[in-house]
Amino acid sequence: MIERYTLPEMGGIWTDEHRLELWLKIEIAACEGWAKLGKIPNEAVEIIRKRAAFSWERVQEIEEVTQHDVLAFLTNVAEHVGDEAKHIHLGLTSSDILDTALSLQLVEASEILLTKLEGLEAVLRRRAIEHRDTLMMGRTHGIHAEPITLGLKFALWYDEIRRQKQRLAFAREEIRVGKISGAVGTFANVDPQVEAHVCQALNLKPALISTQIIQRDRHAFFMTTLAGIASTLDKIATELRNLQRTDVHEVEEAFGKGQKGSSAMPHKKNPITPERICGMARVIRANAQVALENVALWHERDISHSSAERMILPDSTIALDYMLHKMTQLIDRLNVFPEQMKVNIDKGCGLIFSQRVMLALVDKGVSREAAYALVQTNAMEAWNTKEQFQNLISKDTKIREYLDEKEINELFDYGYHTKHVADIFQRLELI
């Protein structure tokens, strides 16, 4: 991932140095496991613990010759350890180290993402409560439908983020597995107790069965979970972009002092953060497709997945970390314009009450078809002439046969549409 979108903590997980640090932990833990079985002298393990080290620069030099990253690493470690290095990597294959380290990295990344999700959840909760009763127009197909509140919109996103947090926690446990089972997963040259020791030492679970690799359905599930979270952020960002449009302008991304919106037009205040989030979500969804393609490999393994994973796993976790960070800031600082919301509601000439008028006529004994036709006739006239819908209803003699002036006035009450908002908030434990 480019530096522009890389936050330090998440970026640190995917550095070459950190990856090799994890490799070294795994190798030392494997030596400890062998020592418990009496295969390696305890004294040798002590020497390995004290001396084992590596230099990323030196590993790169060696890899230029070996063209094999794990062998280059082991050669460099041996340079530090000396004779006792003969016990390192005993019975193991490269993927024992690679896949177990990758699981550790993904667990670490998950912890950061879960913390970011909790932060976004808290901000959405606060803003939902703040705007529980802020009336705004609900829209379907982009067209005015019936009133909602801005708090309901925030509450909807809050609930979805809670679900996504649960999914990521589950995906984290799915990927919390290691394997130290040898070249084709049969433990021919390594005892299962070594694997058990390594996994326990690293807070992983041994994969119940593996080939040369941990099976990639786990990684695909992890990546599709990230894609789902990214899509939720995309959904929120798309809505905020629409609500910031000049002809809507009900909310607005905070605009900092000295910020510029356009190189050509000084008046511009663009929704740059939501647009960036939408674009990055596309990348993560595309990466999830790659992860799904990686599930099917030849026989006990090939390495067609390896090169792709070196890109999609760091890039996706780094990107999502950044997206969550920016979305939390965006929601926290979002400018809200209730007065403009009222202006937009009034643009509909009261047509939002059409269903309620129709239902009132049905309650008076009019058939649904006839009631619909009576209301639609007046609704279309209001739409075309911009006369208030309530005035047209009041003047319609056929409707007045069933509804008097007082009853009509009571139908045009915004409170009717928001009377159960508190009930919804109660369901979400936001009250």
Q: pLDDT tens digit string along 21-47?
A: 999 999 999 999 999 999 999 999 999
Q: What distance in Å separates the CA atoms of residue 425 and residue 236, rounded to the nearest whole number?
A: 19
Q: Which CATH class for the 351-411 domain?
A: mainly alpha
Fold of the CATH domain 94-342 = Fumarase C; Chain A, domain 2 (1.20.200)
- Coil, strand or helix: which one is 67? coil
pLDDT value of residue 140: 94
pLDDT value of residue 259: 65
CB half-sphere exposure, 141, CA atoms < 13 A: 2
Q: State the average pLDDT over residues 323-331.
A: 98
Q: What distance in Å separates the CA atoms of residue 118 and residue 252, rounded to the nearest whole number?
A: 23
Q: State the average pLDDT over residues 59-64.
A: 96
Name the DSSP letter for residue 89: T
Pairing between β-strand 205-206 and β-strand 177-178 as defined by DSSP bridges:
parallel
Residue 87 has pLDDT above 80, yes or no: yes
pLDDT value of residue 2: 84
Percent of residues, the chain, with pLDDT higher than 90: 91
| Each residue's pLDDT tens digit, 204-224 | 999 999 999 999 999 999 999
pLDDT value of residue 348: 87
Contact 311, 104 (CB under 8 A): no
| Each residue's pLDDT tens digit, 344-359 | 999 989 998 999 999 9
Q: State the average pLDDT over residues 87-103.
A: 97
What residue ranges do the domains of the chain occupy? 3-87, 94-342, 351-411
Amino acid making up residue 412: F
Q: State the average pLDDT over residues 49-56.
A: 97
Residue 254 has pLDDT above 90, yes or no: no
* CATH value of 3-87 in 3.40.50.10800, 3.30.70.260, 3.20.20.80, 1.10.275.10: 1.10.275.10
CA-closest candidate to residue 242, choices 230, 257, 253:
253
Residue 86 has pLDDT above 70, yes or no: yes
Instruction: Give the DSSP per-residue string, 176-217.
Output: -EE----TTSS-SSS-HHHHHHHHHHTT-EE-SS-SSS--TH
Which amino acids are annotated catalytic? 141, 262
Q: State the average pLDDT over residues 161-188.
A: 97
Q: Which two tokens stand for residue 177?
A: 């597995």
Are the folds of 94-342 and 351-411 the same? no
- Coil, strand or helix: which one is 228? helix
CA-closest candidate to residue 345, choices 139, 131, 127, 132:
139
Residues 6+ apart with CB under 8 A from 325: 7, 116
Contact 96, 104 (CB under 8 A): no
With tokens 């002590």, the residue in question is: 46
Q: State the average pLDDT over residues 300-326.
A: 95
pLDDT value of residue 93: 96
Contact 237, 274 (CB under 8 A): yes
With tokens 């620069």, the residue in question is: 57
What rounded mean pLDDT belongs to the chain?
95
Q: State the average pLDDT over residues 300-309.
A: 92
**Helix axes of 150-175 and 217-244: crossing angle, nearest 10 degrees:** 160
Q: What distance in Å separates the CA atoms of residue 349 and residue 424, rounded to the nearest whole number?
A: 28
Residue 411 has pLDDT above 60, yes or no: yes
pLDDT value of residue 271: 86
pLDDT value of residue 342: 95
Other C-beta atoms lying within 10 Å of the C-beta of residue 55? 15
pLDDT value of residue 266: 64
pLDDT value of residue 269: 80
More confident residue, 383 or 107: 107
pLDDT value of residue 263: 60
Q: State the average pLDDT over residues 370-384.
A: 95
Residues 6+ apart with CB under 8 A from 231: 281, 285
pLDDT value of residue 431: 85
Torsion of CA 130, 112, 221, 209, to 10 degrees: -140
**Confidence class of residue 108 from pLDDT cuts 50, 70 and 90?**
very high
| Each residue's pLDDT tens digit, 257-268 | 666 665 656 666
pLDDT value of residue 210: 96
